[in-house]
Amino acid sequence: MNSLYIKYFFKISRSSFLFIPALVAMCLNVNFMAKAQSLKIFPIANEGVLINVGKNKVVIDGIFKSTYPQFESTPEVFLNQMKNNGKLFKGIDVLLASHIHSDHFTSLEVSSVLEHLPKVYFYANQQIMDKLIEERENAKDLSKQTIVFEHGKPLSKTFDKIKINTFPIAHAGAEKTEWIQNTGHLIEIEGYKVLHVGDPYFGKEELLKANLTTQEIDVAILPYWFLNSEEGRAVVDSTINAKRYIANHIPIKLKEEIANLFKGNFKVSVLGQKGLLVRKER
């Protein structure tokens, strides 16, 4: 009996020895899976933001001169910082744009930034890229920096540690704006997931098709009309279900009103100057 016990004990302790490295490996793995760095989202203008995790930086809808007076344009100071690879915008990896409207993207401003930053990629749908090529003042070759994708289907592309998933989502305004290629982006960086939808009027079907509710999205950046109406919130809950939301695309005149509406709401923010910080998980 005794010897059996010893044998049994010995067997367990021997296998524990083998188990310890496995346990350590598991812990390391868990650590590795947890988000090692914080996610920062800085407002640029209108729907434009800088998304930053560690050294990874993506700018979406952040480079434009709006011809719509009700919406902001990219501040000159930010454009200069981008072109000079300085301050907040030092080390941008990828530029993205949702669609061709001038309150999200303008060719001259985007190409000027690209010309200054030869290592930065611009990843965008065909319509945006056609406009970029068509409207450029000079003919400096940007073909090494511009990567076009087909608009009609969901796609993924990885730039080092940044994975960009795109899907089509109809622009607000029904038939009048049917021709516009509006792209939804799900941006994955170091374990974080950030959604940006451009300009849809809800686009419930396309959002459902994109299978977002199971993705555990950290932050969804949405036009404010998704978040200040019952209809919008119902769509958000049933098709996105993110941990947090940023309300944007706010006309200059309504900014204070909308910001007040979400004051103290942990789940929904209007980006102030400091932006949004999502802390790493421990």
| Cβ nearer to Zn ion, comparing 91 with 251 | 251
Return the closest-CA partner of residue 120 out of 156, 153, 151, 162.
162
User: Using the rule CB under 5 A, which residue among 61, 72, 109, 199 binds Zn ion?
Assistant: 199
What DSSP line would sit under 253-273, residue for residue? GGHHHHHHHTTT-SSEE---T
Residue with the CB atom nearest Zn ion in the bound state? 101
**Residue 218 near Zn ion by CB under 5 A:** no
C-alpha distances out from residue 115 to 49, 75, 98, 109, 187, Å: 20, 19, 21, 10, 24
**Residue 61 near Zn ion by CB under 5 A:** no
**Hey, which residues between 81 and 110 contact Zn ion (CB under 5 A)?**
101
Contact by Cβ (8 Å): 38, 278: yes
| Cβ nearer to Zn ion, comparing 101 with 193 | 101
Q: What is the phi/psi pair of residue 130, to 5°?
A: -60, -45
* CB of residue 87 to Zn ion, shortest distance in Å: 28
**Residue 40 near Zn ion by CB under 5 A:** no
* CB of residue 257 to Zn ion, shortest distance in Å: 21
**Residue 47 near Zn ion by CB under 5 A:** no
* CB of residue 208 to Zn ion, shortest distance in Å: 22
* CB of residue 46 to Zn ion, shortest distance in Å: 10
- Taking the C-alpha atoms of residue 242 and residue 268, their distance in angstroms, rounded to an integer, is 10
**Residue 196 near Zn ion by CB under 5 A:** no
Choices 63-71, 192-200, 212-220, 221-229; region in contact with Zn ion by CB under 5 A: 192-200
**Residue 60 CB contacts under 8 Å (≥ 6 apart), including other chains:** 47, 48, 49, 51, 95, 96, 97, 98, 185, 187, 196, 221
Binding site for Zn ion (CB under 5 A): 101, 199
